[in-house]
Amino acid sequence: MTLQEILESVKSGSVSVEEAERILKKESYEEMGYAKLDTSRKARTGFAEVIYCSNKADEHLLNIFERLYREDGEVFGTRASQHQYELVKEKFPEVEYDPISRILKVEKKDKKRIGKIAVCSAGTADIPVAEEAAQTAEYFGTNVERIYDVGVSGMHRLFSRLETIQSANCVIAVAGMEGALASVMGGLVSRPVIAVPTSVGYGASMHGLSALLTMINSCANGIAVVNIDNGYGAGYLATQINRLAAGTDEKGN
Amino acid sequence: MTLQEILESVKSGSVSVEEAERILKKESYEEMGYAKLDTSRKARTGFAEVIYCSNKADEHLLNIFERLYREDGEVFGTRASQHQYELVKEKFPEVEYDPISRILKVEKKDKKRIGKIAVCSAGTADIPVAEEAAQTAEYFGTNVERIYDVGVSGMHRLFSRLETIQSANCVIAVAGMEGALASVMGGLVSRPVIAVPTSVGYGASMHGLSALLTMINSCANGIAVVNIDNGYGAGYLATQINRLAAGTDEKGN
Amino acid sequence: MTLQEILESVKSGSVSVEEAERILKKESYEEMGYAKLDTSRKARTGFAEVIYCSNKADEHLLNIFERLYREDGEVFGTRASQHQYELVKEKFPEVEYDPISRILKVEKKDKKRIGKIAVCSAGTADIPVAEEAAQTAEYFGTNVERIYDVGVSGMHRLFSRLETIQSANCVIAVAGMEGALASVMGGLVSRPVIAVPTSVGYGASMHGLSALLTMINSCANGIAVVNIDNGYGAGYLATQINRLAAGTDEKGN
Amino acid sequence: MTLQEILESVKSGSVSVEEAERILKKESYEEMGYAKLDTSRKARTGFAEVIYCSNKADEHLLNIFERLYREDGEVFGTRASQHQYELVKEKFPEVEYDPISRILKVEKKDKKRIGKIAVCSAGTADIPVAEEAAQTAEYFGTNVERIYDVGVSGMHRLFSRLETIQSANCVIAVAGMEGALASVMGGLVSRPVIAVPTSVGYGASMHGLSALLTMINSCANGIAVVNIDNGYGAGYLATQINRLAAGTDEKGN
Amino acid sequence: MTLQEILESVKSGSVSVEEAERILKKESYEEMGYAKLDTSRKARTGFAEVIYCSNKADEHLLNIFERLYREDGEVFGTRASQHQYELVKEKFPEVEYDPISRILKVEKKDKKRIGKIAVCSAGTADIPVAEEAAQTAEYFGTNVERIYDVGVSGMHRLFSRLETIQSANCVIAVAGMEGALASVMGGLVSRPVIAVPTSVGYGASMHGLSALLTMINSCANGIAVVNIDNGYGAGYLATQINRLAAGTDEKGN
Amino acid sequence: MTLQEILESVKSGSVSVEEAERILKKESYEEMGYAKLDTSRKARTGFAEVIYCSNKADEHLLNIFERLYREDGEVFGTRASQHQYELVKEKFPEVEYDPISRILKVEKKDKKRIGKIAVCSAGTADIPVAEEAAQTAEYFGTNVERIYDVGVSGMHRLFSRLETIQSANCVIAVAGMEGALASVMGGLVSRPVIAVPTSVGYGASMHGLSALLTMINSCANGIAVVNIDNGYGAGYLATQINRLAAGTDEKGN
Amino acid sequence: MTLQEILESVKSGSVSVEEAERILKKESYEEMGYAKLDTSRKARTGFAEVIYCSNKADEHLLNIFERLYREDGEVFGTRASQHQYELVKEKFPEVEYDPISRILKVEKKDKKRIGKIAVCSAGTADIPVAEEAAQTAEYFGTNVERIYDVGVSGMHRLFSRLETIQSANCVIAVAGMEGALASVMGGLVSRPVIAVPTSVGYGASMHGLSALLTMINSCANGIAVVNIDNGYGAGYLATQINRLAAGTDEKGN
Amino acid sequence: MTLQEILESVKSGSVSVEEAERILKKESYEEMGYAKLDTSRKARTGFAEVIYCSNKADEHLLNIFERLYREDGEVFGTRASQHQYELVKEKFPEVEYDPISRILKVEKKDKKRIGKIAVCSAGTADIPVAEEAAQTAEYFGTNVERIYDVGVSGMHRLFSRLETIQSANCVIAVAGMEGALASVMGGLVSRPVIAVPTSVGYGASMHGLSALLTMINSCANGIAVVNIDNGYGAGYLATQINRLAAGTDEKGN
């Protein structure tokens, strides 16, 4: 309903003043005291709310998990610990946990996936972040091609997989240390490249800041950068782009 | 031609060893001594090479301008000075210069534009960067909606234009100072947001680093960041996404 | 009008759907193309919109100055240059300019001032920022006591003025170099202290960042910090506090 | 007693030279060897001394706690650990501890609260800092409205509580990650906003520095910033402002 | 085989199209799913692939160790833990582990060493990094002279060993804290100096960044710098230089 | 007069209440509106007030110069420009100006100098700062030995002058770029070393921050650091130490 | 022996060529393989070598302790752990350990102390660093006055002890958080002030970097700065200055 | 002469005590007051002293130029301005100046060059730094292959020249912006790579710091880094390596 429609309905009496007030005040969330669950998010953005599990108190995690499950029949949590997996499993025995990506989820069966993105990692140590990106995109309905350990110190490995990479709607380049993979990728593909710096490295890598700066200063075009280790954000953005490319609406339909 | 096709042609004799060598060595650029013009770029990425004019020597600028003009019949230069405009104008009287965006170009007539992106700026001082983004996207064939001076200190201005913004395939959010516009935008739209920090500000803005950090740490999803003041990069990436959304191939066809 | 009142008016027909749409979309600004003047700001916050003159194009400055003058009968501009003063003076001969604070204004006669704040500077080089703060507060109706050159390297100067400082509703402490004045002040007064780091200094002062860090880390309580050289922001916030203390409403009435 | 009064008393003989010497030397603290308790603080500033418990040795904590309790009949400690709670509880069974805010206190019954401030948090992870601010303000006699989880990625949540926020004498905005809440708040309210960056975040949040920079560079007015995670400082400053607004003297009477 | 030779072979039929495709696609690595072992590295660069053990999963470490052992009959691992040593020892009882340098290796007997480099450390705390450099160079066939604890606070210690240092083909200078050893060394020797900053220090050493900056800004010539604590990189580079000096080819033959 | 003496005088009536009030309020400065000249400084610290000329307004500079001249019969100004020299010269024809150190002064004849300090510079580009230090110390009555261009890239130059350096009461080490001179000096002398980083250098010298960090992290003892380019501060501190060593009181008598 | 004397002795035959070679090569240290004990240090600088215990291997610590004890009959170690105390105690039952300052020492009886320095701390949390400074100075023969918890948030505490502070030959100011104590001290005393930033604080204190910057930028004169938490360095330098003031030679005799 | 030889000569009387004193004090420089020319440098290191012209006073530059010319018959100056060229030309009409590299030199005819190094630049804007490196190496007797504009955004340009690069004794990789060229090069060649970050870029390039960090964190081996824009240092170090490879002694003979 547009604003005009709501007002017309008020005028005609088909919507009460109170109801219109509630709609216009946008009280479309569930108050939990310590949290306000954004239950209108899926309608608004095409992505259901997910749980950032890190440091959540046990009780809060369980409550939020339950409410989101009730709402959607599936739940997606990131940065979960082994302890949180066991906690949730007691109540939701069907919950799955991947210790590499630290993703904790209950997922509906037989969800359809569309399009294709490529997730590339520079080294094996970058795989946890790459997997967070890949599994996020898959959860939101995107086909994912994984191409790992293709860092620039041995570029023949990257070139051998180039055709696969070039055929994706969007490429996620995950790299720590000096993060040069993103620039190299940007020069080789014609689709958007989402660069994810990781905290892999030591010394002057400054926990990923060096890789972030490399990627932000890239001399190649068609590259944009997300936060250090933010695999989730990259998978989310890649899904948005893939949906546009696949001709579905932005909510994936 | 795929690698297999080239080799088959060599075997059959339809392509000589020398020719195949040249193709496989990828000598697809024009050597100018001080520069190697990447003439295969348009075929490879769907975007012709452009000129970053800043600090180019007069003679180099003119030579490169001329060669690209000969190649494509149009040329696009960024960060050009008034002096460079006058220099180029002597040889190319049809050249256009916009002192706000500092774009210097010769553009073909009647180019078709597709889809739509929105370019938003937080303040009036961010407009030069916003215009660089907007005109870049337009040059590469994208329809652009400009929405300026919608910073978060008076958010009713942003809300009054929200429907226009939400209907774009991709949103570019240009902001200096604290750069909060990107996060707010990310929470309001369902399409990708490209955040461009600008060097507008003083004191602890550190020439745009503060805005960059704000945008990289955004709590909203679907946001990726380019370098400070990099309007060109944002317009380029938005064009890639718009082409995907518009159902054309990545080269805009 | 509250939301409920607007909706009741729509229902009863006393307000048309179109008018209600306009109100609810909050189109309370003046579109100038390159800017959106926030004309509802005074009603909303008790402070009229001011002009940050730095780097404004001549034509833009004049247009904005004129419209704000038309709206309020007075205008306040910060960071103005001598050139801008002369430009504006041609059209508004009554305009005043202070080359120290760089404030450019037309001010109504006989405005009333209430309460009292103290503006203290550590050194003489900090006076431009201190004056920006003091004159901002005065323009918005606050009595100001100036106490300059009371840095911590000769604290007897500060102690000799302590009673005056302690009697203010709010203290603004302006200091560059190491910025220790704010902490010392925080230990001596019972009212809020607004700390303004300045870019005065050299070497490791890093253009004011050192003073900012000193003030943010203060061991004394009742201190909050604004941006480097942000005299305007400090004068604004001090006015808000002074109004509360003076028992007027937050809009100064 | 003013300086003049003391001297007149010395002249008249009603105060001895020794007594006057002691007063003028301001020996108004209690020497504990490892610490000098500032027992005149409440008289001077309207706020009793509190204990920053973090890393205090057990014996020191107990001694200071005891002396402050003897002085005032109540004690307020911040950043206390569970271990410190148990330690103090053995001697002061009435002590209360909140593991979220980490506040440890003995508080007098039936203390009166005045005025009103609003404490807002961007996310649930910012609540420990927000609670430190809220409970500090309450301990010092301020009514507090808590509004949590209203970050800018879902702004309808914030708007639904806007009237409550706008009616407070002072707003505390607590946010980690990119810290955009403070700017948004500054544009929506007419009272002072105290911005508290938190160390919530990862990667380029640099333990709260990014949020601090965002808040310091805010394009909105009426905002000042305290140290990262400094809930106590924000609650203290908000109390000072609330007291001024409530028409009590700065010491809360 | 040069490109021309491959193509001639294809033309003549002595190499099949498929074989040529594989060679030209450079699929000269071993795909392990989570890793792509660069098995052509030794042929390409003269240095076999080594294992950076830090944070490798047990199973991955064992698998990679085994494959490299199978390939070369020896394996070199850096940054290994005691736990990893014990793990590998079960399968490869001949493995050696040095807890100082944290190097874990199986090395062929009777390998020949050539030339000479000098490895100098400023303090005893820098020895772990110095040993990583020294043992790396030795593993790759370089004679190493160790000169430890010759920091600039007691320079007679350095001068007493100067002749030895000056006779080396290349000098590695390992230093933490302020890292001045590299500059002093650069002024005293005529051969290349590789400077290795270490994370030894506290306070403003910022985990080695200060030493890195010292070394990068050196007023002496003939100095280049590697990452903080990167003993391996220094030993590798020194070996390259030593091989050139010793008149062997770059692969050590 | 001690506090006790003042009070006894009040009691006895030999000092009036008003006079005692003035003394105790420490109003021992000269109010100039824009500045508060600290005229008691020489009595308090043994050093007369000096003028930091940089960016002083012409009129202010002249007024302050005049008053200090009237007070002491001599004046010392730092960071003065050629323009300021000419300005002051018109009124004080005896004023001297050194364009290297940028010191502007009128100095009494036949002042006595005591003790000895050494001022060493690493390179010729550091001489302006070294001269500011040397001339400051001389003005305040210290004998100075200058030893320039003794940087660590050619240490035989330093060693040839070592005996002179070792005989000084205090050594000032002035160095830019990597600043290693301070550490080397600290290992060679038994007296205090005052390290002055300079902004000489480029690239990662970050305008002197690298040299500052080097000096702060020095592995040698007996070194303390002043701000980048702060020759004045070093000369002042060296004078304090030299006075102590020379057996005069701290005020040089 | 000067160089001239040595050469004359060689010429005359009273010193052999070998002996002169040894002297001139300055082989005045004890080679321990992993360390080179600088046994000539006391003769050269007046201070015996001390042990920086942090992270020393048990065996190395014991060996070095033993050799230094054999040399001097006393040993001074800093940054020692409880474990190291127990380790050393087994062999040297007379060893003393202070868990606050973490100093581990065997000290000769009845050592004489001269002069006086003052060690001031801003807060109680800074005492460990202050004690390292104080005990270092005492070990090297300096009388020390301790004045703790005199931070600038309650300056009456500092003023009550001012006469004691002003009578010292040198003042050490130890402060964390914003570190303003050093500047305030510099304005109040006429002797050198050694500023020691500490890592006490949180958030934007950046582990002491903020305090370091405050101190380096001090507007007061006569201040120099050592590394964060470097109590030892401050005590060493204060001893050098105290010896000069006390009229002993620089080696304390 | 070794130390032993000198002493034997003293003993035998063939060298006087005074002469030996002079030799051992290493007074092998020419004192010019403001500078100490290191005239023994060529003998010691194989490289004559050069002039860093930037900011040298006219008179100093001329004097130093003259003395070095007298010494060697040729002179090499870096970072010279057009003004300095004209200045020197008046006295030395044969002087040559290259405005790109800013090198000012008089060079002997018919100098022989040995070996080969490759100097690669990422972009055309990096050429000034690349030329400083190339011309430095040539002046010191090294054959140089220039390969410019081979940045990673169009890697076919680099691959087309790979064989030339791989045949060099040492590769200099010059790159600004994100500096990825060094890592890519490191993975492709078996000889040492000297990485030179440049200040080319804008925004988050932070005047070359980002490129420096990229290069320091490189995942490829055999790379070491010099200061930002330090072409001279790279050319010097490459010459050292080339001499070793060419089998000459380190002084090029």
Counting residues of chain H whose pLDDT is more than 70, the rounded percentage is: 94
Q: Do G154 and D199 touch (CB under 8 A)?
A: no
Do residue C203 and residue G180 have CB atoms under 8 angstroms apart?
Answer: no
How many domains are there within chain E? 2
**D216·C212 Cβ contact <8 A:** yes
Determine, for residues C224 and D222 on separate chains, whether the beta-carbon distance falls below 8 Å.
Answer: no
Cα within 13 Å of Cα(C100), Cβ side: 15
User: In this model, does residue G28 exceed pLDDT 70?
Assistant: no
Q: Who has greater pLDDT, G153 or B62?
A: B62
| Residue G42: pLDDT over 80 | no
Q: Which has the higher per-residue pLDDT, E74 or B42?
A: E74
The domain of A209 spans: 114-245
Q: Which chain E residue is nearest to residue A154, measuring alpha carbons?
A: E38
Pairing between β-strand D51-52 and β-strand D75-78 as defined by DSSP bridges:
parallel
User: Domain check: are C119 and C227 in the same one?
Assistant: yes
H228 touches chain F (CB under 8 A): yes
pLDDT of F251 > 60? The answer is no
What local confidence, expressed as pLDDT, does residue C86 receive?
Answer: 97
| A8 in contact with C, Cβ within 8 Å | yes
Note whether E87 and E205 are same-domain residues.
no
How confident is the prediction for chain H on average, in pLDDT? Answer: 90
Backbone angles phi, psi at F242, to 5 degrees: -60, -40
Q: Is F143 exposed, middle or buried (0-12, 13-18, 19+ CB in 10 A)?
A: middle
CA dist C122 to C119, E85, E183, E203, G219, Å? 10, 61, 41, 29, 9
Beta bridge partners of H173: H120, H195
Contacts of G156 in chain D (CB under 8 A): 25-29, 40
Contacts of B208 in chain H (CB under 8 A): 203-204
How much is the pLDDT for C1?
Answer: 63
Give residue G25's pLDDT.
Answer: 63
Shared domain for E233 and E144, answered yes or no, is yes
Is residue H209 domain-shared with residue H96, that is, in the same domain?
no
Q: Is residue C17 part of a domain?
A: no
Nearest to C213 among G123, G188, G204 (CB): G204
Q: How far is CA H37 from the centre of its chain?
A: 18
For E:18-37, CB contacts with B below 8 A are: 20-21, 24-25
- What number is the average pLDDT over the span G191-204? 96
H23, burial (CB in 10 Å: exposed 0-12, middle 13-18, buried 19+): middle
CB of C62 closer than 8 Å to CB of C91 = yes
pLDDT, tens digit (0-9, with 9 covering 90-100), for F21-76:
767 766 567 778 788 877 777 777 788 889 999 988 899 899 999 999 988 899 99
Nearest to H180 by CA among A173, F111, C94: A173
Q: Same domain, yes or no, for B240 and B182? A: yes
CA distance H143 to H167: 12
Query: Residue E248 is encoded by which pair of tokens?
Result: 């062997």
Q: Band of the pLDDT at E4, cuts 50, 70, 90?
A: confident
Q: Reduced to 3 states, what is the DSSP secondary structure of residue D100?
A: coil
Beta-strand (E) ranges in C79-180?
96-98, 103-106, 114-121, 142-147, 171-175
Is 60 exceeded by the pLDDT of residue A252?
no
Distance (Å) from the C-alpha of residue C185 to the closest C-alpha of chain G?
8
| Residues F199/F229, Cβ–Cβ less than 8 Å | yes
In 3D space, the residue among B196, A219, B52, B237 whose CA is nearest the CA of residue H178 turns out to be: A219
Structural contact between residues B169 and B241, judged by C-beta atoms closer than 8 angstroms: yes
**F184–E contact, CB cutoff 8 A:** yes
Cβ–Cβ of C216/G206 closer than 8 Å?
Answer: no
- In this prediction, residue H120 carries a pLDDT of 97
pLDDT at H249: 57
Q: Model ipTM? A: 0.89
Q: What is the pLDDT of residue E42?
A: 77
Which amino acid, residue C81? Answer: S
- Calculate how close chain B gets to C30, using CA atoms only, in Å: 10
Regarding whether A135 and A48 lie in a shared domain, the answer is no
> Does A157 have pLDDT greater than 80?
yes
pLDDT of residue D25: 62
Nearest Cα to C44, choosing from B159, B183, D122, D221?
D221
> Given F55, F79, F106, which residue is the final one in a domain?
F106
What is the percent of chain B with per-residue pLDDT over 70, rounded to a whole number?
A: 94
Q: Do chains G and F touch (3 or more CB pairs under 8 A)?
A: yes
Q: Is D222 on the interface with C (CB under 8 A)?
A: yes
pLDDT of residue D153: 85
Residue E134, amino acid: A
Return mean pLDDT, chain G: 90
pLDDT of residue E36: 82
**A24 compared with F114, residue with greater pLDDT:** F114
Confidence of residue E253 (pLDDT cuts 50, 70, 90): low
Which subunits count as partners of chain A given 3+ CB pairs below 8 Å?
B, C, D, E, H
Would you state the pLDDT for residue H26? 61
For the ranges B18-32, B57-71, C23-37, the one whose mean pLDDT is highest: B57-71
More confident residue, C44 or G151: G151
Does some domain include residue C121?
yes
By C-alpha distance, which of F85, F84, F48 is closest to F67? F48
Whether the pLDDT of residue B140 is over 90: the answer is yes
Domain shared by H121 and H178, yes or no: yes
- Provide the b/e sequence for E61-75 (b: ≥16 CB within 10 Å): bbbbbebbbeeeeeb
Whether residue A204 is contained in a domain is answered as yes
What is the predicted pLDDT for the residue at B253?
55
Same domain, B123 and B234: yes
Cβ within 8 Å, pair D55-G154: no
Closest partner CB to F184 (pick from E180, E188, E218): E180
| Chains contacting D (3 or more CB pairs within 8 Å) | A, B, C, F, G
> Above 60 in pLDDT, residue H252?
no
**pLDDT higher than threshold 80 for residue H70:** yes
Nearest in space to C4 (alpha carbons), one of A13, A12, A10: A10
G43 — pLDDT class (breaks 50, 70, 90): confident
**What pLDDT, on the 0 to 100 scale, is given for residue D28?**
66
Tell which residue, D69, D76, D72, has the closest CA to residue D53.
D76
Among the residue ranges C157-161, E243-247, G17-21, G98-102, the one predicted with the least confidence is: G17-21
Indicate whether C190 belongs to any domain: yes
- The CA-based dihedral angle spanning residues G239, G245, G248, G251, taken in that order and rounded to the nearest 10 degrees: 30
The verdict on F152 and F44 lying in the same domain is: no
CA F154/CA H31 separation, integer angstroms: 13
Contact H226 E224 (CB under 8 A): yes
In a domain, H188, yes or no: yes
pLDDT of residue H32: 81
Of F15 and H248, more confident: F15
Judge if G127 and G220 occupy the same domain: yes
> Which residues from chain G sit within 8 angstroms of residue F247, using beta carbons?
247
Contact at CB, A160 and E26, closer than 8 angstroms? yes
Measured distance CA(H225)–CA(H212) in Å, rounded: 8
Query: Helix (H, G, I), strand (E, B), or coil: what is residue C114?
Result: strand
Average pLDDT over all residues of chain B: 90
**How far D147 CA sits from the closest chain A CA (Å)?**
9
Same domain? D119 vs D101: no
Would strands G30-31 and G36-37 be described as parallel, antiparallel, or unpaired? antiparallel
Compute the average pLDDT of residues C99-115: 95
Domain boundary among B45, B75, B106: B106
**Residuewise pLDDT in 10s, chain D (253 residues):** 667 777 888 888 888 887 777 677 665 677 787 888 777 777 777 888 899 999 888 998 999 999 999 888 999 999 999 999 999 999 999 999 999 999 999 999 999 999 999 999 999 999 999 999 999 999 999 999 999 999 988 788 888 888 899 999 999 999 999 999 999 999 888 899 999 999 999 999 999 999 999 999 998 999 999 999 999 999 999 999 999 998 865 455 5
Residue H13 maps to a domain = no
Residue B26 pLDDT > 70:
no
Burial level of A113, CB count in 10 A (0-12/13-18/19+)?
Answer: middle
Task: Place C27 in a pLDDT band, splitting at 50, 70 and 90.
Answer: low
Q: Which residues contact F241 (CB under 8 A, 6 or more apart)?
A: F117, F169, F170, F192, G192, G241, G244
Residues of chain B in contact with residue A42, where contact means CB-CB under 8 angstroms, are none
CA atoms within 13 A on the CB side of A199: 13
Q: What is the pLDDT of residue D187?
A: 87
Pick the residue of D11, D21, D27 with the most F CBs within 10 A to test the interface with F by mutation: D11
Last residue of a domain, one of G106, G135, G154: G106
Rounded CA Rg of chain A = 21
- Asked if residue B145 belongs to a domain, the reply is yes
Stretch 131-160 of chain C: residues touching chain F, C-beta under 8 Å: 148-150, 153-154, 156-157, 159-160
How many Å separate Cα H111 from the centre of its chain?
17
The answer to whether the CB atoms of A227 and D154 lie below 8 A apart is: no
pTM score: 0.91
Question: E13 lies in a domain?
Answer: no
* Proportion of chain B above pLDDT 90, given as a percent: 65
| Per-residue confidence band for G154, with pLDDT thresholds at 50, 70 and 90 | confident
Q: What residues in H contact F165, CB-CB < 8 Å?
A: none
Question: What pLDDT digit, counting tens, does each position of H4-44 carry?
Answer: 777 888 888 888 887 777 677 665 677 787 888 777 777 77
pLDDT recorded at residue E25:
63
Q: Which pLDDT band holds residue G238 (cuts at 50, 70, 90)?
A: very high
Question: What amino acid occupies position G181?
Answer: L
Q: Assess whether pLDDT exceeds 80 at residue G171.
A: yes
Q: Which of H4, H24, H25 sits opposite G17 (nearest CB)?
A: H4
Distance (Å) from the alpha carbon of D157 to chain A's nearest alpha carbon: 7
Judged by average pLDDT, the poorest of B109-113, E227-231, H10-14, H35-39 is H35-39
Shared domain for G130 and G234, answered yes or no, is yes
pLDDT at C148 over 70: yes
Helix axes G231-245, G127-139, angle to 10 degrees: 40
The percent helix, strand, coil of chain D (3-state, each to 5) is 45, 20, 40
Residue B88: pLDDT band with limits 50, 70, 90: very high
- Cα separation, C198 vs C176, whole angstroms: 4
- Provide the CATH number for the domain around residue C141: 3.40.50.1970
CA distance H21 to G11: 12
% helix / strand / coil in chain G, to the nearest 5? 45, 15, 40
* pLDDT value at residue D126: 95
